[in-house]
Amino acid sequence: MKISTKKIWASVGISGLLIAALFGHLIYMNLRSADPILPGWEDYSETRFEELMARDEPIMVEIYASWCQICLLQHRALKTLHEEGRSPKIRAVRVDFERDTAFVEKHDLKQTGMIIIFRNGRQYERTSGLITTGKIEAFMQEVQTSHNVP
């Protein structure tokens, strides 16, 4: 039995569409560029972070990856808070999960989409899944109440 070239190409096309339908979102998330850093935030650098840790001020650290769905939603919520003038009043640093591996290993991080609060050289709070403005604001309120963070 001989299969025509047209049938082979049709099968390839249908297979491609099926793969795109099933895995397109995953492919997109792995290929998309990083979200732009928000105004007032800093990209992580070891030297700068150590300098900030020596101060008596809280630091909010976002553990970020461009392929992370939680990170995308978290970024959108943080951006909304910024645009509405409701950003947390705290120094903020973004750690790239894949690039800043020394930080990730030092703090035993196993996932992305996390927010960690540091102060006086130590970690105070760690949470994940803050994908709405309300959840971010509630977390920051809890941090302020529990740890006397301004």
CA distance to 29, 31, 49, 88, 132, per residue, from 35 (Å): 12, 12, 21, 19, 17
- Check residue 66 and report its DSSP letter: T
User: CA nearest 44: which of 109, 95, 107, 5?
Assistant: 95
Rounded to 5°, angle at Cα 115 from 141 and 101: 160
pLDDT tens for the 150 residues of the chain, in order? 566 666 656 565 666 555 555 555 445 455 667 888 999 999 999 999 999 999 888 999 999 999 999 999 999 999 999 999 999 889 999 999 999 999 999 999 999 999 999 988 889 899 999 999 999 999 999 988 876 665
E-assigned strands of 11-106?
41-43, 59-64, 91-96
